């Protein structure tokens, strides 16, 4: 890459961000009805553009096959009428979610007569950097727009034609609704420098949300000068206490691992209290469910199918039907293991002893802590938030499933009648 | 600086941060009564240590004088019995502020029986980088501790003896209350590399708050890999609309500039509607108050004492009895000027027309927006928040005056009864 290309790429991102900011100032003032109507308009245009979108997608699939893209990647990339209808329906779902903008978070009348309120406003310009799934283009754009933000989208090169066709429909719908198209823009170049330019665009882009595999998130977190909302790993633990109900423990543990082993909320390590009487039964149920098990010495004594775990296993997100099992001597040992190895995403306890569940919920320092429930519930939809832009494990701004509210900030409004400070 | 020094400095910061994290896990679980009692204990130790603290301060003052420190800097540095009592009293004030930790921000019972709550928790380890005022050592430490956070303090080299003596008292008070001293630590070295090491300590320090002049804040914002809570400039505007009450306009404008011209909430630019009938009277009042005035052509016609403004004036924070004045053609022109030149700190409107005040409050995109009040009210104490750790103009996490609540984040607690996800 020459210096010239890099320069012009970052100029291009800067210009996009300035256009986005200008459009955003206008959209920030729209009421919910106007934004929802626009989203429904976009859904209609999307349905009417099905042919164009699917033929663009066919191009991407063809070059993906030529380029030797793996079958799983091709499946993520593929659109059909059913998936397109899913995307359009998701737009309508976002349309009907409550709009967080304008909400008065707190109010206070001061003794000197000043009326203080904290009012929710959009963050501003959000950058989304994502990989192969073209539906992210529409989902992310819709969530940003509904919360009054501008979005700058950088999709994967393997989905370039699909993304352009989807964005064409999105833009047409916006235009029909009388809303500036610049509120949602797709980075036009596939130049890798564009990602770097977005990550460096401090003051121009207010927040970056990476959506994709670990190497993408790692790069974004390492190089970004702009705040990032993300999670790198979901090394989720479930601790089964001596007081756990055995039936609950089996059902919850098998679900937490095996329902969909590849999602970030899937359990990766099971901690079993050494005083739990039904430990062998629990391991048998997991092995019978088809899960590959590795464990420490005490765990291996419980079932012959448990292989020996190595040190890395306790820090590994398998994203597969594989689980590490450690036997721990009670709650404090479990809390210690979790403090050392958890990625701060979701950790759960199974216990009937309320002292144990309450201590776990208060002492485990993760974005989501659960008692007697499957860690697979770690999801914006399951939390009643509607669609989510992602799950965050950082400590500032928003944590856990991030939905519309996480795409807002606030300002202080002060209404006076001529007060001066003495 | 040799590579070796830098390495050992960053090792030292990393070790401090790990110790801080360990202490913080303990302090996060303390209730308000325990934390408040400790703060009162510290206030008592501080009072009892007056002699040691003042003699340490005398050393700093002597080397400051020898080193040719400016009189204003020496004044910031100086402690006496009155100021020490002020610091002890501030500790007691923080003790009695409501504790935000544990507050349930939202609650939702899901249809499947899961009970969801978002609970306020401390952020974790906060880094404070500050300059000459030794009282910041205690104020910042107290706010971090009260909100359950650990603090790593890096004070200015000119206050090194004072800061050590103050921290000695703070540590003794903590110890008397049975709380690990590592919850508040002062960086022991004056090596400039320590600041760099703090700024790079991503994952070890959760947030950095710089307290000091513009060059400090600029460096921190430029170099930090850790989230920063700060404001760089307070280029605050007041717009006087045609509908403004002339008496209100005069009093508020003079107060906004002249009460304390050096604070970040002081007005730096006055925008006067060209249709405002009492503009000359307003400028005369400001000039009579002793303020140096610069303005555009139309402003200069209002009072002979108004000098010509140059382009930089509209982007200058004077922090002095000096003001730039522009005549604008109504609200839209004022909004345009503010969008181009405001630093996003505090902007105010003076008007009796409610359409004007409400449009201003909704359309100006600053951390604090005010109607008919002096911008000098931009202060945590005036907002009823108690002591503030600083004022932030960033868009994420916390904006405007940041107090205890801004030093917290949240986690999701989920209470179930064996639910699995289908």
d(CA A421, CA B21): 41
Alpha-carbon gap, residue A248 to A271, rounded angstroms: 15
Three-class SS state of B379: coil
- Within 13 Å and on the Cβ side, how many CA atoms surround B228? 23
Contact B413, B298 (CB under 8 A): no
pLDDT at B4: 52
Instruction: State whether the Cα torsion B383-B384-B387-B389 is positive or negative.
Output: negative
Nearest to B418 among A368, A372, A417 (CB): A372
Q: For B19, what's the count of Cα atoms within 13 Å in the CB-facing half-sphere?
A: 16
Under 8 Å between Cβ of B380 and B119: no
Two structure tokens written together for A282: 């629990």
Mark yes or no for CB contact A395/B124 under 8 Å: yes
Residue predicted with more confidence, A326 or B136? A326
Contact A306, A293 (CB under 8 A): yes
Check: CB of residue B154 under 8 Å from CB of residue B198.
yes
Task: Output the pLDDT for position B6.
Answer: 65
Which two tokens mark A230?
A: 């993300």
The CATH number of whichever domain residue A328 belongs to comes to 3.40.309.10
Task: Give the C-alpha separation, A323 to A307, whole Å.
Answer: 10
> What are the tokens at A273?
């209290």
| Residue B191: Cβ-neighbour burial (10 angstroms; 0-12, 13-18, 19+) | middle
User: What average pLDDT does range A60-69 have in this prediction?
Assistant: 95
- Average pLDDT over chain A reads 95
Question: Measuring CA to CA, which residue among B331, B227, B402 is closest to residue A224?
Answer: B227
Q: Is the dihedral of CA B216, B218, B223, B224 positive or negative?
A: positive
- Residue among B116, B122, B396 with most chain A CBs within 10 A, to mutate: B396
Return the bridge partners of A271, or none: A239, A326
Q: Answer yes or no: is B391 within a domain.
A: no
Is the domain of B266 the same as that of B185?
A: no
**Chain B CB contacts of A150 below 8 Å:** none
Q: Are residues B90 and B164 in the same domain?
A: yes
Please state whether beta strands B150-154 and B125-130 pair in parallel, antiparallel, or not at all (unpaired): parallel
Asked whether residue B190 falls in the same domain as residue B46, the answer is: yes
CA B324, CA B307: separation in Å to the nearest integer? 9
CB contact under 8 A, A259 and B395: no
3-state helix, strand, coil in chain A (%, to 5): 45, 20, 35
Count Cα atoms within 13 angstroms, Cβ side, for B90: 20
The number of C-alpha atoms within 13 Å of A242 and in the hemisphere containing its C-beta is 9
Query: Same domain, yes or no, for A193 and A94?
Result: yes
- Containing B239, the helix (H) or strand (E) segment is strand B236-240
Question: For each of chain B's 422 residues, which pLDDT tens digit applies?
Answer: 444 556 689 999 999 999 999 999 999 999 999 999 999 999 999 999 999 999 999 999 999 999 999 998 899 999 999 999 999 999 999 999 999 999 999 999 999 999 999 999 999 999 999 987 899 999 999 999 999 999 999 999 999 999 999 999 999 999 999 999 999 999 998 888 999 999 999 999 999 999 988 899 999 999 999 999 998 889 999 999 999 999 999 999 999 999 999 999 999 999 999 999 999 999 999 999 999 999 999 999 999 999 999 999 999 999 999 999 999 999 999 999 999 999 999 999 999 999 999 999 999 999 999 999 999 999 999 999 988 999 999 999 999 999 999 999 999 999 999 999 99
Contact between A421 and B121 using a beta-carbon 8 Å cutoff: no
pLDDT of residue B5: 54
- pLDDT at position A3: 47
Closest by Cβ to B372, choosing from A121, A418, A421: A418
Closest-approach residue (CA) in chain A for B407 = A396
Q: Which residue has the tokens 């008070």?
A: B173
Give the mutation candidate from B394, B413, B417, B422 for the A interface (greatest A CB count, under 10 A): B413
Residue from B121, B148, B248, B395 to probe the interface with A (highest A Cβ count within 10 Å): B395
Contact A371, A361 (CB under 8 A): yes
Q: Residue A232: pLDDT band by 50, 70, 90 thresholds?
A: confident
Report the sign of the C-alpha dihedral through residues B386, B388, B393, B396, in that order: negative
User: What whole-number distance in Å separates Cα of residue B131 and Cα of residue B286?
Assistant: 33
Q: What confidence score (pLDDT) does residue B72 get? A: 86
CB neighbour burial string for A277-297, b if at least 16 within 10 angstroms, e if fewer = ebbebbbebbbeeebebbbbe
Q: Is residue B422 part of a domain?
A: no
Q: How many CB pairs under 8 A join A and B?
A: 191
User: Of A252, A339, A411, which is closest to B399 when you measure between CB atoms?
Assistant: A411
Q: Cβ separation of A259 and B371 shorter than 8 Å?
A: no
Give contacts of A256 with chain B, Cβ < 8 Å. Answer: 420
| Whether the Cβ atoms of residue A179 and residue A28 lie closer than 8 Å to each other | no
Smallest CA–CA distance, residue B268 to chain A, in Å, is 16
Cα–Cα distance between A163 and A160 in angstroms, integer?
5
Minimum-distance CB partner of A123 among B227, B396, B418: B396
Say what percent of chain A tops pLDDT 90.
Answer: 92
Whether pLDDT at A5 is above 70: no
Do A110 and A242 lie in one domain? The reply is no
Measured between beta carbons, which residues in chain A are less than 8 angstroms from residue B407?
none
In Å, what is the CA distance from B411 to each residue of A134, A368, A399, B66, B112?
Answer: 31, 6, 7, 51, 21
B420 falls within a domain? no
State whether A366 and B411 contact (CB < 8 Å). Answer: yes
Q: Are B74 and B133 in contact (CB under 8 A)?
A: no
Q: Do B361 and A415 touch (CB under 8 A)?
A: yes
Q: Which of B121, B371, B416 sits opposite A371 (nearest CB)?
A: B416
Contact between residue B296 and residue B312 where contact means Cβ atoms under 8 Å apart: no
The answer for A 210-269 residues in CB contact with B (under 8 A) is 227, 245, 247-248, 251-252, 255-256, 259
Is there a contact between A271 and A337 (Cβ–Cβ < 8 Å)?
yes
Residues B263 and B162 in one domain: no
Are B252 and A420 in contact (CB < 8 Å)?
yes
| B85 in a structural domain | yes
Per-residue model confidence (pLDDT) at position B235 = 96
Closest residue, chain B, to A200 (C-alpha): B222
**A244, pLDDT greater than 50:** yes
At A336, the pLDDT band (50, 70, 90 cuts) reads: very high
Binding-face residues of B in 302-341 toward A, CB within 8 A: 339
Minimum CA–CA partner of B227 in chain A: A227
CB contact under 8 A, A367 and B259: no
A199 and A51 inside one domain: yes
Q: Do B203 and B332 fall within a single domain?
A: no
Q: Is residue A52 part of a domain?
A: yes
Residue A387 forms part of a structural domain = no
Per-residue pLDDT at A374 = 98
> How far is CA A115 from each of CA A392, B237, B355, B383, B420, rounded to the nearest angstrom?
34, 20, 17, 10, 47
Domain of residue A72: give its range: 3-229+402-413
Residue A409 confidence (pLDDT): 97
Are residues A249 and A188 part of one domain? Answer: no
Check whether residue A161 and residue A51 sit in a common domain: yes
Tokens for B207?
A: 């947030």
User: Would A384 be classed as within a structural domain?
Assistant: no
Using a CB-CB distance cutoff of 8 angstroms, which residues of chain B are in contact with residue A414? 368-371, 373, 377
All residues of chain B having their beta carbon less than 8 Å from the beta carbon of residue A396 are 123, 206-207, 227, 396-397, 409
pLDDT at A6: 65
Strands across the sheet containing A150-154: A184-186, A150-154, A125-130, A207-211
**What are phi and psi for residue B311, nearest 5 degrees?**
-55, -35
Q: How far is A50 from chain B (nearest CA, A)?
A: 31
What is the Cα gyration radius of chain B?
Answer: 24
| Helical residues (DSSP H) of B342-381, grouped into ranges | 354-363
At A1 the pLDDT is 41
Say yes or no for a CB contact (<8 Å) between B206 and A396. Answer: yes
The owner of tokens 């978070």 is A105
Residues B44 and B176 in one domain: yes
What pLDDT does residue B189 have? 83
Under DSSP, is residue B324 helix (H, G, I), strand (E, B) or coil? Answer: strand
Flag whether pLDDT at A255 surpasses 90: yes
The pLDDT value recorded for residue A164 is 96
From A247, A367, A414, residue closest to B370, measured CB to CB: A414
How close is the nearest chain B Cα to the Cα of A172, in Å?
A: 27
* Total domains in the fold of chain B: 2
**Does residue A360 sit within a domain?**
yes
Which range among A52-56, A62-66, A71-75, A167-171 shows the weakest confidence by mean pLDDT? Answer: A71-75
Question: If DSSP codes are grouped into helix, strand and coil, which group holds residue B224?
Answer: coil
CA distance A266 to chain B (A): 11
How do residues A173-208 score in pLDDT, each as one tens digit? 999 999 999 999 999 988 889 999 999 999 999 999
Is the pLDDT confidence value at A4 over 90?
Answer: no
B121 in contact with A at a CB cutoff of 8 Å? yes
Under an 8 A CB cutoff, do B227 and A396 touch? yes
Identity of the residue in B366, B368, B412 whose CB atom sits nearest the CB atom of A368: B412
Q: Are residues A107 and A210 in the same domain?
A: yes
**Res A189: pLDDT:** 83
Q: Contacts of residue B373 in chain A, CB cutoff 8 Å?
A: 114, 414-416, 418-420
Q: Which of B18, B421, B422 to mutate to test the interface with A (most CBs of A within 10 A)?
A: B421
Element (H, E) at B44: helix B32-48
ipTM rounded to 2 decimals:
0.94
SS3 at position B354: helix
Q: Which residues of B touch A370 (CB under 8 A)?
A: 413-416
Structure tokens at B104: 């349930």
CATH value at residue A18:
3.40.605.10
């Amino acid at each position: 890459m020459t210096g010239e290309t890099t320069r012009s790429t970052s100029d291009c991102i800067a210009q996009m961000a300035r256009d986005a900011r200008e459009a955003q100032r206008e959209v920030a003032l729209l009421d919910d009805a106007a934004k929802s109507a626009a989203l429904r308009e976009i859904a209609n245009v999307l349905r009417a553009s099905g042919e164009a979108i699917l033929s663009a997608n066919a191009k991407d699939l063809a070059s993906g096959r030529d380029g030797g893209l793996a079958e799983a990647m091709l499946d993520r990339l593929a659109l059909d009428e059913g998936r397109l209808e899913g995307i359009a329906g998701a737009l309508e779902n976002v349309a009907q979610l409550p709009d967080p903008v304008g909400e008065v978070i707190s109010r206070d009348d001061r003794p000197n007569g000043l009326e203080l309120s904290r009012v929710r406003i959009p963050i501003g310009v959000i950058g989304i950097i994502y990989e192969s799934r073209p539906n992210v283009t529409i989902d992310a754009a819709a969530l940003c727009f509904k919360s009054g933000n501008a979005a700058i989208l950088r999709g994967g090169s393997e989905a370039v034609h699909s993304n352009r066709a989807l964005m064409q429909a999105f833009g047409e719908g916006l235009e029909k609704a009388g809303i500036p198209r610049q509120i949602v823009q797709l980075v036009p170049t596939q130049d890798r420098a564009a990602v770097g330019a977005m990550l460096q665009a401090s003051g121009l882009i207010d927040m970056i949300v990476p959506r994709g595999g670990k190497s993408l998130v790692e790069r974004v977190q390492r190089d970004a000068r702009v705040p990032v909302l993300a999670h790198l790993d979901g090394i989720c633990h479930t601790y089964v206490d001596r007081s756990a109900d055995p039936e609950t423990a089996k059902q919850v543990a098998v679900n937490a691992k095996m329902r969909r082993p590849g999602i970030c909320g899937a359990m990766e390590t099971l901690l079993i209290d050494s005083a739990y009487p039904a430990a062998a039964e629990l391991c048998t149920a997991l092995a019978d469910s088809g899960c590959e098990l590795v464990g420490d010495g005490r765990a291996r004594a419980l079932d012959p199918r448990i292989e020996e775990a190595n040190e890395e296993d306790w820090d590994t997100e398998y994203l597969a039907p594989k689980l590490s099992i450690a036997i721990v001597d009670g709650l404090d040992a479990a809390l210690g293991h979790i403090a050392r190895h958890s990625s701060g995403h979701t950790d759960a306890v199974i216990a009937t002893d309320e002292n144990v569940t309450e201590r776990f919920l208060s002492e485990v320092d993760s974005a989501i802590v659960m008692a007697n429930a499957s860690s697979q519930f770690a999801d914006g939809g399951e939390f009643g938030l509607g669609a989510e832009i992602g799950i965050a494990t950082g400590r500032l701004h928003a944590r856990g499933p991030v939905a519309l509210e996480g795409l807002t900030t606030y300002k202080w409004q002060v209404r006076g009648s001529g007060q001066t400070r003495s």
